[in-house]
């Protein structure tokens, strides 16, 4: 069972649906993040990225994804019986890199539900020069061919994850994102783990209050995560409701 105090609120779940991500600042014991950084640095991952085996080599990473705030967010978005995917990757961004192209890791599934999320953990502070991950809010509802997407540069409302060590950014699998250039003088690591839903939602798995939600749901009809045309906004409104109805169990009753 997840600890109730760590489950998301209605407001946070609605924000995830609209924007496509939720940031957790996890408080790990003193020295924990730095010790993971050192372990990763000792593995020479640029020459030999261990791929999925990173968890076996750095078992402390289990503690990251077991943190009550991280678990609470995952249960809220994926249900009590969510599962850690066997695929994972340590993204190494050493000094001197160029920005990655915008892309989706997801496979453009033909539904608008929360079935898989990325959980990106940063074991060091990520300052603007150190190659943070950039995200584009609301793009989990937008599909574009990857080669077209790769021609885009900066978006006005992009969010650059300048975060503290210990942060876990949880995103919808389909959100558009990219690593930015590392102009700093140390390597930036990011651990990307995937988590998936184990079963169909029957009821809300977060701290849900149906009275409070009535007012909050108005956000679905007017809030825009980024400037967009009216016609795109109409489309995303419908998709948000689809996602919400699935999450509260309405789509499966």
Ligand X SMILES: O=C(O)CCC(=O)C(=O)O
Instruction: List the one residue out of 206, 85, 103 whose CA is nearest residue 149.
Output: 103
Q: What angle do CA 197, 146, 176 make, to 5 degrees?
A: 50
Q: Which residue has the tokens 């994972």?
A: 88
Instruction: List the one residue out of 144, 170, 141, 201 whose CA is nearest residue 72.
Output: 170
232 binds Fe ion (CB under 5 A): no
> What is the distance of C-alpha 119 from the center of its chain?
5
91 binds ligand X (CB under 6 A): yes
Work out how close the CB of 36 gets to ligand X at its nearest, in angstroms, rounded to a whole number. Answer: 16
Using CA atoms, how far residue 140 sits from 19, 54, 105, in Å, is: 8, 27, 11
The closest residue (CB) to Fe ion is: 105
Work out how close the CB of 150 gets to Fe ion at its nearest, in angstroms, rounded to a whole number. Answer: 12
Q: Number of C-alpha atoms within 13 angstroms, CB side, residue 76?
A: 29
Cβ proximity to ligand X: between 93 and 205 the closer is 93
Q: Which residue has the tokens 């990757």?
A: 89
Among 33, 113, 116, 133, binds ligand X (CB under 6 A): 133
Work out how close the CB of 65 gets to ligand X at its nearest, in angstroms, rounded to a whole number. Answer: 18
Among 12, 39, 105, 125, binds ligand X (CB under 6 A): 105
Residue 194 structure tokens? 């995937």
54 binds ligand X (CB under 6 A): no
105 binds Fe ion (CB under 5 A): yes
Among 14, 58, 130, 179, binds ligand X (CB under 6 A): 179
Alpha-helical (H) ranges within the chain are: 10-19, 32-41, 54-57, 61-66, 68-78, 146-149, 210-216, 218-222, 230-247
Work out how close the CB of 99 gets to ligand X at its nearest, in angstroms, rounded to a whole number. Answer: 10
Among 93, 116, 167, 182, binds ligand X (CB under 6 A): 93
- Residue 168 binding result from Fe ion, ligand X, none, given CB thresholds of 5 to 8 Å by partner type: none
Work out how close the CB of 27 gets to Fe ion at its nearest, in angstroms, rounded to a whole number. Answer: 27
41 binds Fe ion (CB under 5 A): no
Among 88, 172, 177, 197, binds ligand X (CB under 6 A): 177
Residues lying near Fe ion in the complex (CB under 5 A) are found at 105
């Amino acid at each position: 069972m997840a600890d109730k105090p760590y489950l998301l609120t209605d407001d946070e779940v609605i924000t995830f649906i609209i924007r496509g991500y939720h940031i957790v600042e996890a408080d790990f014991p003193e020295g924990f993040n730095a010790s993971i950084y050192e372990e990763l640095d000792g593995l020479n991952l640029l020459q030999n990225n261990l791929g999925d085996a990173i968890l076996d080599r750095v078992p402390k990473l289990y503690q990251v994804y077991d943190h009550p705030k991280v678990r609470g967010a995952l249960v809220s978005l994926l249900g009590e019986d969510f599962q850690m995917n066997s695929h994972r990757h340590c993204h190494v961004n050493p000094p001197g890199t160029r920005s990655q192209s915008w892309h989706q890791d997801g496979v453009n599934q033909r539904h608008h539900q929360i079935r898989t999320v990325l959980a990106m953990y940063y074991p060091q502070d990520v300052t603007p020069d150190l190659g943070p991950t950039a995200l584009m809010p609301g793009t989990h509802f937008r599909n574009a061919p990857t080669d077209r997407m790769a021609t885009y540069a900066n978006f006005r409302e992009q969010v650059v994850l300048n975060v503290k060590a210990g942060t876990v950014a949880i995103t919808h699998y389909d959100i558009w994102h990219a690593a930015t250039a590392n102009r700093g003088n140390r390597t930036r690591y990011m651990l990307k783990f995937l988590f998936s839903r184990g079963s169909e939602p029957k009821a809300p798995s977060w701290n849900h209050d149906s009275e409070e939600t009535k007012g909050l749901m108005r956000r679905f009809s007017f809030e825009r995560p980024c400037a967009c045309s009216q016609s795109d906004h109409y489309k995303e409104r419908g998709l948000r409701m689809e996602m919400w109805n699935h999450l509260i169990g309405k789509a499966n009753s």
